[in-house]
């Protein structure tokens, strides 16, 4: 007869899949001792650029019990966003695939709340919190510990079965569960992501200098874009998928089935000329609930000017 711990674990994983999550893995909530020195060095060498929030809450990033007192488990979840049609192949300026539809924070937070409520209905009151890229949580490290995949040389989580085009989310709670085994690394000697990065942001040591990444330049950087990287963006105006597009494991990516990730129908037909003449009204229509709003109309126009 299964223990309560095992039955609770089985229930959570079954419910997660029912809600549309691709994968669900669980790790013991404990201090990330092996991650601490790498994070410290990455911050000390200013590889986070102007992302000052990465320098905040250092201890909380490494210790989930500081986010949820008494935490025993970190549930990691993956949610597919790979589109049926790659809009970056239409000859126009490019958007990262994750930003085609509605902002993932809203979509996944709704599902996490539903999952958390289901857990409480099943096991009783628990203390916990849900996270979607919105708090100091080392989501890729926790996902790797819970067996969802391994950290590739581009520092993204890779899965042999699913590639890397998925969002990560977490539930940290004070419930003891069965823990999964970390996945092994399957990058081998492949350096396609390193070789393909136009701004050489990825090192052979498996580190990404975020301050040199096209995604950082087009989303996070608030200043004018530096002349030193002019001509290196390969038409990416918001985010970048280059290191994912060239990854051999992404040949296993399949189209998502989330209606809220469907892009605005006009997005596939906007030409470079249209983007250059973009108005705030059209921006608001195309990206009504999109993550692109993060860079604002002025930021996207800045990026487009830089590409022309």
Secondary structure letter of residue 229 according to DSSP: G
3-state secondary structure (DSSP) of residue 171: strand
For the sheet with 23-28, list strands across it. Answer: 23-28, 73-80, 166-173, 128-131
- Reply yes or no on whether 59 is catalytic: no
Computed over its alpha carbons, how large is the radius of gyration of the chain? 20
Residue 277: phi and psi, rounded to 5, are -100, 15
* Neighbouring residues of 279: CB distance < 8 A, sequence distance ≥ 6: none
Secondary structure letter of residue 224 according to DSSP: P
Token couple for 230: 């002019």
For the chain, how are helix, strand and coil distributed in percent, rounded to 5?
45, 15, 45
In 3D space, the residue among 103, 152, 143, 113 whose CA is nearest the CA of residue 288 turns out to be 103
Q: Distance between CA atoms of 143 and 164, rounded to whole angstroms? A: 12
Secondary structure letter of residue 217 according to DSSP: I
Residue whose pair of structure tokens reads 């470079």 in the numeric block: 272
What pairs with residue 169 in β-bridges? 77
Q: Distance between CA atoms of 264 and 100, rounded to whole angstroms? A: 8
Catalytic residue, candidates 55, 86, 110, 133: 133
* Neighbouring residues of 89: CB distance < 8 A, sequence distance ≥ 6: none
What pairs with residue 77 in β-bridges? 24, 169
Cα four-point dihedral sign 250, 254, 260, 265: positive
List active site positions: 133
């Amino acid at each position: 007869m299964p223990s309560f711990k095992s039955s609770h674990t089985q229930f959570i994983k079954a419910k997660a899949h029912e809600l549309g999550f691709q994968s669900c893995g669980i790790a013991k909530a404990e201090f990330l001792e092996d991650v601490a020195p790498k994070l410290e060095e990455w911050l000390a060498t200013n590889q986070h650029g102007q992302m000052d929030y990465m320098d905040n809450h250092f201890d909380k990033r490494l210790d989930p019990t500081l986010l949820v007192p008494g935490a025993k488990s970190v549930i990691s979840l993956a949610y597919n966003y790979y589109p049926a049609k790659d809009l970056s192949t239409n000859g126009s300026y490019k958007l990262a695939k994750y930003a085609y539809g509605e902002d993932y924070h809203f979509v996944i937070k709704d599902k996490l709340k539903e999952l958390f409520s289901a857990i409480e209905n099943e096991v009783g009151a628990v203390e916990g919190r849900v996270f979607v890229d919105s708090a100091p949580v080392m989501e890729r490290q926790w996902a790797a510990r819970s067996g969802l995949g391994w950290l590739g040389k581009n520092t993204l989580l890779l899965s042999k079965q699913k590639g890397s085009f998925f969002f990560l989310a977490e539930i940290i709670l004070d419930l003891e569960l069965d823990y999964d085994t970390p996945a092994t690394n399957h990058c081998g000697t492949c350096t396609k992501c390193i070789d393909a990065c136009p701004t050489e942001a990825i090192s052979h040591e498996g580190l990404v200098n975020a301050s040199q990444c096209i995604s950082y330049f087009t989303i996070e950087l608030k200043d004018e874009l530096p002349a030193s990287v002019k001509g290196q963006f390969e038409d990416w105006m918001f985010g970048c998928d280059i290191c994912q597009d060239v990854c051999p494991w992404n040949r296993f990516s399949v189209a998502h089935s989330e209606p809220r990730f469907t892009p605005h129908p006009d997005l596939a037909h906007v030409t470079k000329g249209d983007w250059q003449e973009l108005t705030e009204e059209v921006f608001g229509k195309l990206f009504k609930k999109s993550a692109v709003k993060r860079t604002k109309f002025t930021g996207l126009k800045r990026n487009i000017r830089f590409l022309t």
